[in-house]
């Protein structure tokens, strides 16, 4: 049996401020670091061996993974991939979610956040929050740097990487840890749980709570569950 462990990064500074973060490289809060360490403790408690680790190219995911590794006392060897980045929120990037609800209405903001194929207006390339102006993305092909994304766009970015680089590792009882973001994990779950375009909008991904997905030798899901039962969310399909 192989295990896929999906962890959304711990609380970030902009999570705390309720701002649309997307591809901006924002670090963890003190509470986010504690969530990351708690994830490591939960994984250590079930005595699971991590064979491969992946994170996005964003500091909040990278530092979450480093803290998990440190807590579990395992080597900091992992793969960073921009394809696992959070969804890009376009012109909403950096704005406060509650203020935007007042300006545009709660229904519209919910539509931007959770609809399958609706995306916000693009972010200007002159904006300091645009990926072309952020140092960490200097080696990512400019043609791959988005101005805005829908959840469908994020899915189409994440899934090829998942299938080619992560799913292929889930063989011979190997275990894979992926630390990413709400929407990139949502994209993976849509694929694994066979969720339609309506159900995926209902899937909530808590920060810093390992989701364990167990596969049989045919790569079929046997079961899945969150390790921290007090902070678990409904997985819809299970």
What is d(CA 90, CA 87) in angstroms, rounded to the nearest whole number? 9
pLDDT per residue as tens digits for the range 121-174:
999 999 999 999 999 999 999 999 999 999 999 999 999 999 999 999 998 889
Over 90: is that where the pLDDT of 16 sits? yes
The catalytic site residues sit at 9, 86
Give, in degrees to the nearest 5, the angle at Cα 64 between 46 and 95: 135
Exposure pattern of 26-47 as b/e (b: 16+ CB <10 Å)? bbbbeebbebbbbbbebbeeee
Q: β-strands 52-55, 79-80: how paired?
A: parallel
What contacts 100, CB < 8 A, 6 or more positions away? 20, 92, 109
Contact between residue 207 and residue 10 where contact means Cβ atoms under 8 Å apart: yes
For 25-37, what is the mean pLDDT?
97
Q: Of 14-18, 81-85, 221-225, 231-235, which range is least confident?
A: 231-235
User: In this model, does residue 188 exceed pLDDT 70?
Assistant: yes
Domain 2-231's class? alpha beta
What are 153's two structure tokens? 């766009």
Angle between helices 30-45 and 59-72 (to 10 degrees): 40
Q: What is the pLDDT of residues 60-105, one digit of tens each?
A: 999 999 999 999 999 878 999 999 999 999 999 999 988 888 777 7
Integer Cα distance of 77 and 65 in angstroms: 10
């Amino acid at each position: 049996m192989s295990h896929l462990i999906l962890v959304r990064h711990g609380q970030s500074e902009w999570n705390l401020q309720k701002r649309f973060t997307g591809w901006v490289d924002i670090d963890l809060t003190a509470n986010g670091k504690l969530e990351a360490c708690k994830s490591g403790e939960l994984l250590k408690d079930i005595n699971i061996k991590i064979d491969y680790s992946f994170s996005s190219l964003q500091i909040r995911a990278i530092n979450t993974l480093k803290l998990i590794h440190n807590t579990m006392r395992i080597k900091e060897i992992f793969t960073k991939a921009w394809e696992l980045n959070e969804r890009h929120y376009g012109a909403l990037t950096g704005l406060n979610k509650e203020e935007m609800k007042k300006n545009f209405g709660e229904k519209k903001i919910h539509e931007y956040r959770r609809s399958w194929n609706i995306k916000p207006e693009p972010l200007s390339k002159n904006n300091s929050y645009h990926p072309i102006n952020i140092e960490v993305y200097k080696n990512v092909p400019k043609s791959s740097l988005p101005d805005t994304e829908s959840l469908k766009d994020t899915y189409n970015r994440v899934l090829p990487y998942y299938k080619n680089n992560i799913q292929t590792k889930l063989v011979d009882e190997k275990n894979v840890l992926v630390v990413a973001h709400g929407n990139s994990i949502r994209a993976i779950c849509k694929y694994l749980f066979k969720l339609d375009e309506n159900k995926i909008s209902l899937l909530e991904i808590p920060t810093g709570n390992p989701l364990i997905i167990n596969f049989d030798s045919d790569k079929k899901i046997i079961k899945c569950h969150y390790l921290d039962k007090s902070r678990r969310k409904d997985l819809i399909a299970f």
